[in-house]
Amino acid sequence: MSTVAVMGSGSWGTAMALTLCDNDHRVTMWARRAEVCERINLQHRNPDYFGDLVLPDQLSAVQDPELAMKDAEFVVLAIPSQALRATLAEWSVPEQAVVVSLAKGVELGTGLRMSQVIMEVTGVAPERIAVLTGPNLSHEIAERQPAAAVVASTREETALAVQHLFHTATFRPYTNTDVIGCELGGATKNVIALAVGMAAGMGYGANAAASLITRGLAEIIRLGEAMGADPHTFSGLAGMGDLVATCSSALSRNRTFGEELGKGRTVAEIAGGTRQVAEGVKSCFSIKALAEKYGVDMPITYAVCAVIDGSLDPTSLVQALLARAPKPERY
């Protein structure tokens, strides 16, 4: 049994807290709002995300981040990627703790992956940082549906410790030392899911979805190789697995956000009607910047950015991709 702080009370943080409680760990969740803490502690519910789900009695919630992390052996960060830097700057992470990142994104402006942001802001050494990623839709995890994941760390012992921390009868993590590949897979698949969602919103079927997923994976691999990732990572859970789940499920925030765009709604209209964060809406621009930096061809990513910034509509996105010059599948 370990002492764990889950920093964030959104859908992903709540699902991971449930998983940890299933292993009888001592889990304290940090929530920004006092009313969320009260509902979790007194009613054992988080109505903003899982209103019908009864939370374990041993899960407690506090509004004070320092109290949440007191004596924690593991600090699990369930903070949206673009808010991670500012949030971490307000905290003092325990020196002895292993830090686990759940965020899937690339920081705007810096192009840093989330583990790099954690290192830069907190000074935590890379061997004490792990990344948990893979085809993990939060609602299915919270319902204890079977799922697998990847825990990546530059230090294998750290990855093994986090694997043991989260491994339950229904949640099976594997380990990997390719942190670059695992983080890129988690960030870039959100952008491809936006494109797949747009196609679905316009009424296109399985052919269009499969084409976007497959060519999207080619973009992800090209960028990953240019940045030093192991290309084999992208055929696994952090790559193809996460990509398929995010592009295929109605539970995927990025897929459903894209679908609404395909139906003609604006970014502002969609974002204003949900508490959920579609990471790809912002991360697409940082991924595009990485593609430009490394000289990588990523046409789907570029087209998604153009739709998000309003310079292209979804119909024109499809036309632009189909009108590109023909070339070999591998080049």
- pLDDT above 80 (res 314): yes
Q: Would you say residue 132 lies in a domain?
A: yes
Whether residue 121 is found in the same domain as residue 63: yes
The CATH number that applies at residue 16 is 3.40.50.720
What pLDDT was estimated at residue 233?
97
Whether residue 186 is found in the same domain as residue 232: yes
Q: Would you say residue 244 lies in a domain?
A: yes
Whether residue 172 is found in the same domain as residue 188: no
For residue 271, name the pLDDT band (cuts at 50, 70, 90): confident
Whether residue 144 is found in the same domain as residue 48: yes
Whether residue 133 is found in the same domain as residue 238: no
CB 232 within 8 A of CB 253: no
- pLDDT above 80 (res 243): yes
- pLDDT above 90 (res 278): no
Q: Give the end of a domain, one of 177, 203, 218.
A: 177
Residues 34-85 have pLDDT tens digits of 999 999 999 999 988 887 889 999 999 999 999 999 999 999 999 999 999 9
For residue 237, name the pLDDT band (cuts at 50, 70, 90): very high
Question: For the chain, what is the mean pLDDT?
Answer: 94
For residue 277, name the pLDDT band (cuts at 50, 70, 90): low
* pTM as predicted: 0.92
Cα 210 from Cα 327, distance rounded (Å): 19
Specify the DSSP element, H or E, that contains 154. Answer: none
Whether residue 189 is found in the same domain as residue 236: yes
Lowest mean pLDDT among 92-101, 258-267, 321-330: 321-330
For residue 322, name the pLDDT band (cuts at 50, 70, 90): confident
Please list, residue by residue across 177-206, b when 16 or more beta carbons sit within 10 angstroms of its beta carbon and e when fewer do.
ebbbbbbbbbbbbbbbbbbbbbbbbbebee
> What whole-number percentage of the chain has pLDDT above 90?
86
Q: Would you say residue 51 lies in a domain?
A: yes
Structure-token match 């591998």, residue found: 330
Choice among 70, 104, 189, 282 that is catalytic = 189
For 49, 60, 117, the CA distances from 221, given in Å and listed in that order, are 33, 41, 22
What pLDDT was estimated at residue 70?
94
Q: Which residues contact 206 (CB under 8 A, 6 or more apart)?
A: none
Whether residue 126 is found in the same domain as residue 261: no
Q: Give the end of a domain, one of 144, 177, 210.
A: 177
For 61, 109, 183, the CA distances from 176, given in Å and listed in that order, are 31, 28, 11
Whether residue 85 is found in the same domain as residue 187: no
282 counts as catalytic:
no
Whether residue 206 is found in the same domain as residue 156: no
The total of structural domains in the chain comes to 2
Whether residue 171 is found in the same domain as residue 189: no
The CATH number that applies at residue 312 is 1.10.1040.10
Indicate the pairing of strand 147-152 with strand 129-133. Answer: antiparallel
What pLDDT was estimated at residue 331?
64
Residue 186 or 280, more confident: 186
Q: Would you say residue 328 lies in a domain?
A: no
Q: Give the end of a domain, one of 123, 154, 177.
A: 177
Whether residue 165 is found in the same domain as residue 49: yes
Where in the sequence is the domain holding 23, given as residue range(s)? 3-177
Whether residue 116 is found in the same domain as residue 201: no
Residues 92-137 have pLDDT tens digits of 999 899 999 999 999 999 999 999 999 999 999 999 999 999 999 9
Burial of residue 290 (CB within 10 Å: 0-12, 13-18, 19+) is buried
